[in-house]
Amino acid sequence: MSVLVIAEHDNASIKDATLNIVTAAKELGDVTVLVAGNGCAAAGEAASKIDGVVKVLVADDAAYDHEIAENMSTLVVSLAGDFTHILAPATANGRNFMPRIAALLDVAQISDIVKVESADTFVRPIYAGNAMATVQTSDAKKIITVRTTGFDAAAAEGGSAAVESVAAAGDSGKSSLIGEELSKSERPELTSAKVVISGGRGMGNGENFQLLEKVADKLGAAIGASRAAVDAGFVPNDLQVGQTGKIVAPELYIAVGISGAIQHLAGMKDSKVIVAINKDEEALIFQVADYGLVADLFEAVPELEKELG
Amino acid sequence: MKVLVAVKRVIDYNVNVRVKPDNTGVATANVKMSMNPFDEIAVEEAIRLKEAGTATEVVVVSMGEKKCQETIRTALAMGADRGILVETDDELEPLAVAKILKGIVEKESPDMVFLGKQAIDGDNAQTGQMLAALLDWPQGTFASKVELADGGVNVKREVDGGLQTLKLSLPAIVTSDLRLNEPRYASLPNIMKAKKKPLETVTPADFGVDTAARVKVLKVEEPAKRQAGIKVETVSELVDKLKFEAKVV
């Protein structure tokens, strides 16, 4: 078995999501990592150090800036012949280009796997994680997106894979980036942070998220939010945790002013320890919380910050 | 321009989904079904293009058993012009759906196809991208804003780091995210009117598409249940538990 992992990266470095996918890939066979980007030599170098990676392919071309799906798919299809499995993280990027690759190869895609049972059988959540399906594909080539929280991260150091350049496969000319509004944050990435503190509708407005920021500073935490908080315009979309947002599974998840809709629980219920702070003692979030505190968040959160020293 | 919208009939998002005791799937008997919420957003966006005078016709497609007519009628009541039901009792995988949609696109020649970014049953998030690949059209997935400009379409997308805007040439595929718009409720007069709008029924075989499953569902199980823990009375008790019991801070 030979597995191609499509790396998530920012040209300069490898994103944590890639490390989790390498772990899933190692269960399937020899791991080759593809780094496709624009000026991505450093990311290619970093990929070669990941423990367990045999080979790194680098496609460095303007066509792969921002991993535009049209161009990524033709590139991966040009490389696909050598591999039995092609894996990418179920991130916004992976979710965008992988089905395109699958259709070009006339293969069904298995989305969002959390477990590898065998070379052709995988476990994946359906219905917002309210059911787990074990599925077996009959396609010779397996196209898979992987939920990062399902697998431990491979060590970022220790490997010494050969790095090889591959030819670019052209620009479709049908899609180009004309604007970006990216959140700038010094905090850890939401999807790989050890601690996440999230706010919901109960926060009342965007300014009140500063209360969470102060606690996050003490814990080295990432900030998250429920859909209600994002829809209300309190915080940007990229903070959303849930079925259709980001899936997180930190060591500690603190839910503040979040009622606990199924769609939100789908994004965080695999966290190791869950804390809920909500003034409504009937809130659904308490049904999944290890530690529940029925309290007014505007008193409890500043107190929490103080208690954490 | 003509706009095609694909909609799926799914278990209503408010229903508490239950796994069948024999582990073959989830219970759907006597369960409320609705249009996939992301598809409702896709329908709304297409109708707004028509109201703005940009789109001339909005055609809605659904696939599955006869009851999917209801889902199409909902879209017609919202303001779509006509419907196409691809009737089949087979469970269709995203790749088969994309192949059938390709056949419909070739027949209808729309300038844009709108779909929801994912259906809330299978959570696959594949069909739009697959259709784009099969047609060799550009794709704007997870759209939170769609603007026609300079003979193309600008699609603002929700990505992991924030927002990204792509300029796509037409024809193009757009899949809707939550914040693209807020779908309207159909009024009673419009629901009545929708009953008279044309709805054509076809089959997968009309497009020569093999719908045989590539992926076999071996079993469907309940996820591991999380037990509710304890209630703490004070913040200091909470911090104490986190430090000495859970050992996470």
Q: What is the CATH number of the domain that holds B44?
A: 3.40.50.620
What number is the average pLDDT over the span B30-53? Answer: 97
**Looking at the predicted structure, is the pLDDT value of residue A248 above 90?**
yes
A233, A291 Cβ separation under 8 angstroms: no
What number is the average pLDDT over the span B101-127? Answer: 98
Percent with pLDDT over 70 in chain B = 100
What number is the average pLDDT over the span B117-135? Answer: 97
pLDDT at position A308:
94
What number is the average pLDDT over the span A117-146? Answer: 97
B17, B221 Cβ separation under 8 angstroms: no
pLDDT-derived band of residue A39, with 50, 70 and 90 as boundaries?
very high
Q: Give the structural domain span for B165.
A: 2-245
For residue A269, the 8-state DSSP code is: T
C-alpha B16/C-alpha B60 separation (Å) is 28
Contact B242 A289 (CB under 8 A): no
Total domains in the fold of chain B: 1
Q: Looking at the partner chain, which of B126, B160, B216 has a beta carbon nearest the beta carbon of A109?
A: B126
- The DSSP H or E segment spanning A217 is helix A209-219
How far does the CA of residue B194 sit from the closest CA of chain A (Å)? 30
Mean pLDDT of chain A: 96
What number is the average pLDDT over the span B41-68? Answer: 97
- The DSSP H or E segment spanning A170 is none
pLDDT at position B169:
98
Residue of B nearest to A220 (CA): B249
CA torsion A290-A291-A292-A295 (nearest 10°) is: -160
pLDDT at position A193:
94
Residue of B nearest to A111 (CA): B124
C-alpha B239/C-alpha A259 separation (Å) is 22
- Which residues of A fall within a CB distance of 8 Å from B133? 73, 99-104
Which of A74-88, A181-195, A199-213, B105-119 is predicted least confidently? A181-195
- Which residues of A fall within a CB distance of 8 Å from B154? 178
Amino acid at B108: E
Q: Of A129, A131, A95, nearest to A265 (Cα)? A: A129
Output the CA–CA distances (angstroms, integers) from residue B227 to A82, A249, A286, B119, in the order listed: 46, 16, 10, 28
**Looking at the predicted structure, is the pLDDT value of residue B226 above 90?**
no
Phi, psi angle pair for A219, to nearest 5°: -100, 0
3-state secondary structure of A82: helix
**Looking at the predicted structure, is the pLDDT value of residue B228 above 90?**
no
For residue A184, the 8-state DSSP code is: P
- The DSSP H or E segment spanning A126 is strand A121-126
- Which residues of A fall within a CB distance of 8 Å from B177? 244
How far does the CA of residue B94 sit from the closest CA of chain A (Å)? 8
pLDDT-derived band of residue B232, with 50, 70 and 90 as boundaries?
very high
Q: How far is CA B69 from the centre of its chain?
A: 16
Most B CBs within 10 Å, among A8, A124, A126, to test the B interface:
A126
**Looking at the predicted structure, is the pLDDT value of residue B203 above 90?**
yes
Q: Of B98, B64, B99, nearest to B84 (Cα)? A: B64
- Which residues of A fall within a CB distance of 8 Å from B152? none
Output the CA–CA distances (angstroms, integers) from residue A249 to A70, A151, A214, A268, B124, in the order listed: 31, 11, 21, 6, 20
How far does the CA of residue A175 sit from the closest CA of chain B (Å)? 5
Residue of A nearest to B102 (CA): A103
pLDDT at position A184:
85
Contact B169 A308 (CB under 8 A): no
Interval A52-66: pLDDT, tens? 999 999 999 999 999
pLDDT-derived band of residue B227, with 50, 70 and 90 as boundaries?
confident
Number of Cβ atoms within 10 Å of the Cβ of B244: 9
pLDDT at position B132:
98
Q: Looking at the partner chain, which of B159, B229, B236 has a beta carbon nearest the beta carbon of A292?
A: B229
The ipTM (two decimal places) reads 0.95
How far does the CA of residue A30 sit from the closest CA of chain B (Å)? 24
With tokens 């109201």, the residue in question is: B51
What number is the average pLDDT over the span A289-300? Answer: 98
pLDDT at position B213:
95
Residue of A nearest to B163 (CA): A181
How far does the CA of residue B132 sit from the closest CA of chain A (Å)? 7
Q: Of A146, A160, A83, A157, nearest to A116 (Cα)? A: A146
Whether this prediction's pTM lies above 0.80 is answered by yes
Contact B249 A308 (CB under 8 A): yes
Interval B132-176: pLDDT, tens? 999 999 999 999 999 999 899 999 999 998 999 999 999 999 999
B184, two tokens:
């309207």
Most B CBs within 10 Å, among A67, A130, A256, to test the B interface:
A130
How far does the CA of residue A51 sit from the closest CA of chain B (Å)? 26
Contact A135 B218 (CB under 8 A): yes
How far does the CA of residue A159 sit from the closest CA of chain B (Å)? 28
DSSP states of chain B as a string?
Answer: -EEEEEE-EEE-TTS---B-TTSSSB--TT--EEE-HHHHHHHHHHHHHHHTTS-SEEEEEEEESTTHHHHHHHHHHHT--EEEEEE-SSPPPHHHHHHHHHHHHHHH--SEEEEES--TTT----HHHHHHHHHT--EEEEEEEEEEETTEEEEEEEETTEEEEEEEESSEEEEE-GGG--PPPPPHHHHHHHTTS-EEEE-GGGGT-----SEEEEEEEPPPPPPP-EEESSHHHHHHHHHHTS---
Contact A173 B94 (CB under 8 A): no
B4, B107 Cβ separation under 8 angstroms: no
Sheet order of strands, A30-37 included: A109-113, A142-146, A85-89, A2-6, A30-37, A53-60, A162-165
Q: Looking at the partner chain, which of A96, A129, A219 has a beta carbon nearest the beta carbon of B223?
A: A129
DSSP states of A9-66 as a string?
Answer: B-SSSB-HHHHHHHHHHHTTSEEEEEEEESS-HHHHHHHHTSTTEEEEEEEE-GGGGG
pLDDT-derived band of residue A3, with 50, 70 and 90 as boundaries?
very high
Most B CBs within 10 Å, among A223, A226, A307, to test the B interface:
A307
**Looking at the predicted structure, is the pLDDT value of residue A212 above 90?**
yes
pLDDT-derived band of residue A309, with 50, 70 and 90 as boundaries?
confident
Contact B138 A174 (CB under 8 A): yes
A145, A98 Cβ separation under 8 angstroms: yes
